[in-house]
Amino acid sequence: MEQQKKISQYDYQNAIKPFEQFIREKDIRLRTDEYIILHFDGVGMTKKYLSRMASSDKKVFAECLLKTAQTLCSHFKSTRIAYVYNDEISLLLEGQDVVNNYHNRVQKLVSIASAKASIELFKCLKINEHIALLKEMESSCLFAVKCYNLPQHLVNDYFKARLLSCKKSIFDRKGNFEEKESWEKFGYLITYQSPAWKDECIDFSRMKLTKKPQDEYYSLNRKTNFC
C-alpha cells in the first residue's frame, strides 16, 4: 500500500469548493433585529407515554421537562424567557446576540438545541427510571425543534398562545379543568431572577410579559390586568 501523502488545507479547499454553493443555499441565517423562537416538541411523547401515565408519574415527567428547559435557558445565553407544558418547550432568544446564537444559523441552532434537550431529558429520566414508563422513554426521548424570528410586539401574544394551547390540551383529553393541579393547567413560565432561572405555574392570560427596565430579560407584570 502506498504511503499517504500529506493533505494540505489547499487540497481540502479544492475538494470541497464544488459543494459550497449547496451548503450556502440552505445555511439560512435569522434576522438580528427580531427575537428568535426555539420551539421544542417531544417526538411521540404524548401519544406513546404521557397518555398512559398516572397523574403522579406525569408530574415527575413535567419536573424533568422543566429541569431540561432551565438547563437550555442557561446553555443558550441569549434566552430572555421560556415556557414549558406537556412535552413542549419554548425559548425566546435575543436575535442580536449572534455569538451565543451560533451566528443565527438555523441548522446550527436546531441541531444543537435538539441534541442538548434530548441529552438533558435523558439524564433526568435516568434518575427516575424506577418509574416504568419513564424508563421506557429513555430510548426515545427525542425532540423536534422549530426555529424562526418573532417581532418584539408579538412576544406577549406568542406566550399567551402557548398558555392557551396548554389549557386546550386538558379539554382535548376531556379532562375536568378545574380539578387539575396548577402545573397541568398553566404549565411553567420561566423567568430570569438573578442569579438563576425560576419557574412558576400561573395563569398569565390577563397579565402582560414586559422587558425589565434594568436589563434585557422579560418578566410578568402583575400590577396590571390585560384582556
Q: What is the pLDDT of residues 123-157, one digit of tens each?
A: 999 999 999 999 999 999 999 999 999 999 999 99
Between the alpha carbon of residue 61 and those of residues 34, 66, 74, 127, 178, the distances in Å are 33, 9, 20, 11, 21
Q: Cell 405555574, residue?
A: 201
Between the alpha carbon of residue 149 and those of residues 77, 96, 208, 226, the distances in Å are 17, 11, 20, 25
pLDDT beyond 80 at 224: no
**Cell numbers linked to 188:** 411553567
Which residues make beta-bridge pairs with 7?
Answer: none
Q: Which of 78-92, 129-143, 210-224 is predicted with the least confidence, judged by mean pLDDT? A: 210-224
Measured at the alpha carbon of residue 159, what is the angle toward residues 158 and 165, in degrees to the nearest 5?
Answer: 95
Measured at the alpha carbon of residue 132, what is the angle toward residues 59 and 115, in degrees to the nearest 5?
Answer: 70
pLDDT beyond 80 at 95: yes
Output Rg (C-alpha) for the chain, integer angstroms.
21
What pLDDT score does 74 carry? 97
pLDDT beyond 90 at 184: yes
Three-state secondary-structure class, residue 91: strand
CB atoms within 10 A of CB 176: 8
Average per-residue pLDDT for the chain:
95
Bridging pattern class, strands 88-93 and 35-42: antiparallel
Query: What does the alpha-carbon distance between residue 162 and residue 33 come to, in Å, rounded to a whole number?
Result: 23
Q: What is the CB-side half-sphere exposure of residue 222 using CA atoms within 13 A? A: 2
Mean pLDDT of 95-117: 97
Cβ-Cβ contacts under 8 Å for 64 (sequence gap 6 or more): 121, 124, 125, 128, 134
Percent of the chain topping pLDDT 90:
89
Query: What does the alpha-carbon distance between residue 87 and residue 58 come to, in Å, rounded to a whole number?
Result: 10
